[in-house]
Homo-oligomer: A and B are copies of this chain.
């Protein structure tokens, strides 16, 4: 099983068949990977943060939780997780994020732009890109006030999260482009696909 490399501030898309296992690996530690899942059979069926959180009854997902689609079907099961802290509240950073929140000149296209371009061969409309499951992203929420911070990931070098596909999927995956998400460092993300 080759270990694929997603270079810093870039994204990839690939197909993942039902039963296959995807490992998303943080090779150096402290980096975020935005993950999208889309049904190969009908690309209008996509990962849904709102459905998934509703069924999980928690904003922090880990081993044993499933990621649901907008049609309430299970797309991915989380089968192993060495970190235990990921985000499923925020959208992939975009050119607008950089314009509004950072001083990047010119603004980077961000994970949103990287996902859009990577997913173009499957005909995914840019406006349809939903909230991603942001592997390793560390967003603690103050339960009293509701305010949250985007802190550096808790992941150490070699940490990973593994998902088993429950349907035939197109996966979009990035090495995050936003300074706040990865503590100001831009690092690669690795991934591996194992047969069922």
Contact = CB atoms under 8 A, between A and B. Distances in A.
B125 A91 contact: no
Given A97-B72, A127-B71, A128-B128, A51 B91 contact: yes
Main secondary structure of the interface of A (DSSP, over half): loop
A: interface residue count bin: 35 or more
Contacts of A44: 125, 127-128
A15 interface: no
B60 A145 contact: yes
Nearest to A48: B91
Interface in A42-99: 44-46, 48-51, 53-55, 57-60, 70-72, 89-91, 94, 96-97
A97 B54 contact: yes
B70 A147 contact: no
A60 to B, nearest CB: 3
A143 interface: yes
A140 interface: yes
A131 B52 CA distance: 11
B130 A130 contact: yes
18 contacts: A45-B127, A49-B49, A49-B50, A49-B89, A49-B131, A50-B91, A50-B131, A51-B96, A53-B148, A54-B91, A59-B89, A59-B148, A70-B127, A71-B96, A130-B130, A140-B143, A141-B143, A143-B144
